[in-house]
A and B are shown apart, each in its own frame.
Chain A
């Protein structure tokens, strides 16, 4: 008897569940519009989040390291000048520097701290 009652209750409950499944609560258009509005607002925030800039190439990072393009230009000039001096030899440089500074001394004979002065410094 108890089993029969339970079975009857179960069957009745299934009917209620079926009825509820066929009577789905539908959201209002206003609700969906509000949800979409939230979605778009949050999504706009994703776009506003600053993203890491694209990683610079090795050469550009080296240029930044030495002080940017002007410094790099100076380095290139100095390198080329050094290569040129190495190629043409010191004698030619003497000639050029002599012409620039109108001096009798060549680079080969310049003595910035003569021996006598060095001894005098040591004596002090």
Chain B
């Protein structure tokens, strides 16, 4: 089993998916370990809730398994396809959550203010997540893919099925909104005015 996994570790995502579709059990394991964390990570960034993110990521991965035999090679990257499915599923869920307005958004943990001087990355990451949770879904999607997943704009455009200019616009608006949301917390987050 280990040998099979090692042998597949250099295989491309697409090659693994084809192998999976052909019934290779090692490919199922490799793809799970490679794509499962990606799906979960993006779902978590989009939804901000672990249980819901795992549920959504499992649903996205199930769609990947089912489409494997029909996968048309060379048309799209597997990761781009998965980004699209995860973010679309997350967007649908966010739209169903519409009742949650800005005033209902959770506050940063109470202990954060008392630990201003020792703010660490985890706290900033948590603060960013709380700010992301307040962005409109499409802006959130674009910002996550660009700045947290590190995708280039054309790939984001493919994942979101929009043009590159629209991606740039969504990212810019998202960042402005994030900056505004975090601005009020600058001192609290270790960014006092110098």
Give the interface of A toward B (CB within 8 A): 9-10, 12-13, 15-28, 31-32, 34-36, 38-40, 42-43, 46-47
Contact = CB atoms under 8 A, between A and B. Distances in A.
A13 B28 contact: no
B128 A20 contact: yes
B125 A39 contact: no
Nearest to B33: A32
A9 B124 contact: no
Given A25-B53, A39-B32, A46-B23, A19 B61 contact: no
7 contacts: A12-B182, A12-B186, A12-B191, A16-B178, A17-B147, A20-B45, A36-B29
Interface of B: 20-21, 23, 25, 28-29, 31-33, 36-37, 40-41, 44-45, 50, 53-54, 57-58, 61-62, 65-66, 68-69, 121-122, 124-125, 127-129, 131, 147-148, 150, 175, 178-179, 182-183, 186, 191
Nearest to A14: B147
A20 B131 CA distance: 12
A25 B128 contact: no
Contact of A10 (B37, B68, B179): B179
Given A13-B179, A36-B29, A46-B69, A21 B148 contact: yes
